[in-house]
Chain A
Amino acid sequence: MTRYARTLRLFWGASISAEMEYRANFVFAAVGSVLTLGGALATLAVLYQHGYEMGGWSWPEAMLVVALYTLLDGFQRAVLAPNRQAISEHVQQGTLDFVLIKPMDAQFWLSTRRLSIWGVPDVLLGLALIVYAGSKLDTPLGVGGYAAGLIPLLLGAATLYALGYALATLTIWVTKAGNITIAMQALLEAGRYPVPAYAPLFRVAFTFVLPVAFMTTVPAATMTGKTGLVWVIGSLGVAVGLLVACRWFWRFALRSYTSASS
């Protein structure tokens, strides 16, 4: 376990020093994140201008969902997306073989090797907005309120990871499946709004087909006390289920992987 922790530190340290070669990128990323978040909040303001409350969610509550989405999206862009991208590159170039022979779990290696600074501004903005939105609620959140969101948020992140990794695994069979995860990322943008804000059919789809609900809505609802333990348990079920499925799917894919040299 300590070996994995140490490796992780080396991976991310190396990634960060490599990214620091392109500091201008960070400026682009930061400007982009501010514009995106500004646009999301302005869109909320447009929706709330006539006293409409999306699915009965108040303005600070909706803002909390945007904040959680920004945080998760930052995590996705910093850690998940660059690694998913690398999987298809490894398969295309035949370098997956080198990863598989390393004395370390290949899924861990492939999930953590890269870290991109593109997501970092989103993470920071997301965290700041969570604190701000929480303080604007009718009953402002205390430390306990923020902490209550931690577990469902981690479960949401795990769900996001498992879903993306499973889809990225498809590249073992279809080399050019990298676009699948990009399409998934686009659909997950639905997580900017609480699921009750959507028309009925969308709600079903975003809960049971693409589990957007468990990524941002459930953590926000738990923090504000809108829902009870049931949804957190549901969230746990979804996260564990998807993690197990993703692990199984990865192993299954490896069995049909004929390496670059064979």
Chain B
Amino acid sequence: MDNTTTPHPALQFFRVVRRLLGVWYAFMLTYRFEIMLWMVATALPLIMMGVWIEAGASGLFPDITAVSVARYFLAVFVVRQVTVVWVIYEFEFQVNSGRLSSNLLTPIDPAWRYITMLLGEQGARLPFFVGVVALALLIYPAALRGEDGSGWWLPSLWQLGWFVVLTYAAFTVRFLIQYTVAMLAFWFERASGFDHLIFLVFLFCSGMLFPLEVLPDGMREVLMLTPFPYLLWFPATMLATGDVELMPGLAILAFWMVLLFVLNRMLWRRGLRHYSAMGA
């Protein structure tokens, strides 16, 4: 047996990813102040919570109460914090400036660099948003205790487990959408403009502005076929009430993931052929 052989490629890959994660986490920690500001900049679910607590308290909406929407929007806030994706700005910059070239030289697909970058940032963000949620529960304890006879907010282990899985599925889909649009940077200078338009549709269709239960049935059923509800509403509702249709949801999620992944790899290959910056 020869001990000097390189480790199994899979093992090698995990080592590299783990190292990248550590590096990015340390990198992001130096931007704590900015990251806190970004958290404030993505606090729209908490603003909407203020509107919907009043609406829920009116009793005019059949499916929601003040307590249920407070829980829902807190969960949306958490999902949002763990699924913020800004890879397109980084990628667009790297393509336009030619810095992508040096990333192409490394023996690992650049996508892993971006994924670990985003996960590292989420790690640095964690203490801030946990603090905000704790503060919100302190200010509005009814969300935790329940005032409308719904009892304490105690998600089961089953709910918590699925919440984590679905939240990272949401992150994956959001990443795939944005990273696929980012491929347009090979052909257009401002690919982020396209993503911004998708983001505006996402705002309305994802459950960021209202819980999707309040929509008319037909409209909601159509929306559930798009990827958007799975980016916020689906995981958030899993945590808030657990009242979601899991199996159809997972099937649609899988469909979009595969579709986006295939599209992404296709555009990546064609884009690289088109890419001609800085000595490529």
Contacts and interface: CB of A to CB of B under 8 A. Distances in A.
Contacts of B197: 28, 31-32, 35
Nearest to B39: A183
B196 interface: yes
A190 B50 contact: yes
A-B CB proximity, top 7 nearest: A202-B50, A183-B40, A39-B204, A179-B37, A198-B50, A186-B41, A35-B200
Nearest to B66: A199
Contacts of B38: 179, 183
Given A28-B197, A36-B200, A54-B51, A201 B139 contact: yes
Given A43-B210, A46-B215, A47-B210, A189 B44 contact: yes
A258 interface: no
B201 interface: yes
17 contacts: A28-B197, A32-B197, A35-B201, A43-B209, A46-B214, A51-B60, A54-B51, A54-B55, A174-B33, A176-B34, A183-B37, A183-B38, A186-B43, A187-B47, A190-B50, A193-B51, A201-B50
A179 B38 CA distance: 7
A43 B196 CA distance: 19
Contacts of B54: 54-55, 197-199
B55 to A, nearest CB: 6
Contacts of A28: 190, 193, 196-197
A64 B93 CA distance: 40
Contacts of B187: none
Contacts of B42: 186
A186 B210 CA distance: 17
A179 B40 CA distance: 10
A189 B47 contact: yes
Interface string A8-30: 00000000000000000100100
B40 A187 contact: yes
Interface in A157-198: 174, 176, 179-180, 182-183, 185-187, 189-190, 193, 197-198
Contact of A198 (B51, B58, B60, B139): B51
A185 B37 CA distance: 11
Given A179-B37, A180-B37, A189-B47, A199 B53 contact: yes
Interface in B209-242: 209-210, 214-215
Contacts of B200: 32, 35-36, 39
Give the size category of B's interface with A.
35 or more
Give the size category of A's interface with B.
35 or more
Nearest to B209: A43
A147 interface: no
A20 B270 CA distance: 32
A185 B38 CA distance: 11
Contacts of B58: 52
A42 B61 contact: no
Nearest to B38: A179
Contacts of A255: none
Interface in B39-94: 40-44, 47, 49-51, 53-55, 58, 60-62, 66
A55 B196 CA distance: 32
A104 B65 CA distance: 57
A205 to B, nearest CB: 9
B203 interface: yes
Contacts of B53: 199
Nearest to B205: A39
Nearest to B52: A47
A50 interface: yes
B123 to A, nearest CB: 19
Contacts of A36: 200
A197 B62 CA distance: 19
Most buried by B among A28, A46, A52, A174: A46
A29 to B, nearest CB: 9
Nearest to B201: A35
Given A43-B209, A47-B210, A50-B61, A183 B41 contact: yes
A49 B216 CA distance: 10
B201 A47 contact: no
A25 B44 contact: no
